[in-house]
Amino acid sequence: MKAFANDSIFNPVSIPFHKNVENIADSACLQKLLIPFYDRKRTVSVDEIVRLEGSGNYTNFFLKDGTKMLVSRTLKEYETLLDGQAFVRVHKSCIVNLGFVRKFFIKKEGELELTDGQQVKISRRRAQIFMDRIRDFRPVAIN
């Protein structure tokens, strides 16, 4: 698994991150992951990832174009690779991209609605971390 910033073959269109994130990762908006998928490897820009769901030693990637990919790596491995400001682990088996959060429902058990229409539960233990991150997350509009 490699994360790399700039590749001449790909010309990504992405939303620049908030200035607080820029000093953590210089070109986070251009970050890509090389994901082993079946017998090949696929390059995915991190701004295409809506959420990741873990299931044992496997991780499901859900992309904004509706693609679902099953990868034989743990969710913990991807949690360390992905930017901590744009991606938040909201449950023991789920990491979401804050750029795709549409609504947050406050009730006994917290729940998110993502732009793809999916609803994701937030664990009580991670709810405050999510609230802090979503409050600080402000993507800058492209000029």
The domains located in the chain, with CATH, are: 3-136 (2.40.50.1020)
DSSP state of 128: H
Instruction: Let me know if 18 is exposed, middle or buried by CB neighbors in 10 A (0-12, 13-18, 19+).
Output: middle
Of 114, 140, 134, whose CA–CA distance to 14 is shortest? Answer: 140
Task: For residue 61, name the pLDDT band (cuts at 50, 70, 90).
Answer: very high
Buried b (16+ CB within 10 A) or exposed e, 40-54: eebebbbbbbbbbbb
pLDDT of 136: 84
pLDDT digits (tens, 9 = 90+) for 96-116: 999 999 988 877 678 889 998
pLDDT reading at 84 higher than 80: no
Distance CA 82, CA 88 (A): 9
pLDDT, tens only, 8-19: 333 333 333 333
Is the model's pLDDT at 143 over the cut of 50?
A: no
Say what the pTM is.
0.72
Determine the Cα–Cα distance for residues 81 and 4; give it in Å rounded to an integer. 11
| Dihedral over Cα of 24, 137, 46, 141: its sign | negative
